[in-house]
Amino acid sequence: MLKITTKNIQSKWTEFTLTNDHDMSVSILNFGGIITNMMVPDQHGNTENIVLGYNNYADYEKNANYIGAQVGRVAGRIKDGRFYLNGSRYELAKNEGRHHLHGGPNGLHQVIWEADTYQSEHEVSLVLTHTSKHFDNGYPGNLELAITYSLNNTNELTLDYRGKSDQDTPVALTNHTYFNLSGNMKNTVHDHQVQFDSHYVAELDEELMPTGHLIEPIDTPFDFRNGRLLGKGLKPETAQQKIAGNGYDHYFMFGNERAVTVSESNTERTMKIHTSEPGMVLYTANGLDEGLKLNEGLSQKYAGVCFEAQAHPAALHHEGFPNVIVEAGETYRSYITYSF
């Protein structure tokens, strides 16, 4: 039955669970917009959790790995925590050495969002709203944001992002959920088959910063056009894989279709992702801290995989990347749909 339930975690934290008629549910915190749990049936009728989440809610307060979180204003790394816009230089809060990562130390993953719920005949929704103030983590403009999580009876979860600023400002939001389709974290993501069309991959330097050079992925470990087993790429086969910690932490610019298909061989569970975004960061948890107490056990390298659909902050320093600047008064809109 379609329903919305709530659970009070602490004085200002609430977890909302959206459930449909087919045993699929997703749980979301108003803190950070964090997806804490996603129950999805496999081809054999077994309903299991397919995302990483902390066993103790208090661990989300630090959450250095951004598990399940909404990230921004700009997801990804901004070199030297600095950019220029309309002739002015902006210095951002630095939280990865001399660089700025995922919106800064007090980014959207640290916000307690206002929450409203809605239910119709065919879907249940949670709407989170927040205003990021002028110079929040160094960004210009007052940015009004709304994120809607909608779960319908065809086992589709859609994240719809909208924003509007009173000044020109960079915006590139995404969700940092770690997926593991084996269910209840029974295995790593080595047996995940991933397929999508990409024309270019952003090259990284030793600090994981984009160099501005775009790599053509054809016939390389970055070629996912015909599907690729993730396990085959989780090794130091190329310099780029070594830089990322023996795996992927790279921005792929989509080709003709902005979609990804992911399947896990043991459960035959399949997820299809559709998005309005021009590309995504594929991150195979190469740098995930080990030994974290998660819902189904301790974390380890390659315990999950992120599909961070977004425009890329490299556009602030390099040509050839999709625009991330939202002009004053313009409506920012983006969506990501996960189908099972």
Binding-site annotation, residues for beta-D-galactose: 176-178, 249
Q: Are 117 and 124 in contact (CB under 8 A)?
A: yes
Distance between CA atoms of residues 154 and 335, nearest Å:
17
Q: Which of 48, 192, 308, 312 is catalytic?
A: 308
Q: Are 108 and 211 in contact (CB under 8 A)?
A: no
Residue 306: both structure tokens together = 């992120």
Is-cis flag, bond preceding 89, omega within 30?
Answer: no
Residue 61 appears among annotated catalytic residues: no
Residue among 100, 111, 104 at smallest CA distance from 61: 111
For 76, phi and psi rounded to 5 degrees?
A: 105, -170
Distance between CA atoms of residues 15 and 2, nearest Å:
17
CB-side neighbour CA atoms (13 Å) of 169: 32
Q: Partners of 5 in the beta sheet?
A: 17
DSSP line for 107-170: SGGG-B-EEEEEE-SSEEEEEEEEEEPTTGGG--S-EEEEEEEEEETTSEEEEEEEEEESS-EE
Hunting for tokens 């160099």 — which residue is that? 211
Residue 33, SS3 per DSSP: coil
Q: Which of 100, 102, 130, 176 is catalytic?
A: 176
Contacts with 21 (C-beta within 8 Å, 6 or more apart), sequence order:
1, 2, 153
Q: How many helices (H) and strands (E) does the chain have?
A: 1, 29
Residue 156 appears among annotated catalytic residues: no
> Measured between alpha carbons, how far apart are the two ends of the chain, in Å?
18
Q: Are 299 and 185 in contact (CB under 8 A)?
A: no
Annotated binding site: 176-178, 249
Which residues are identified as catalytic?
A: 176, 308
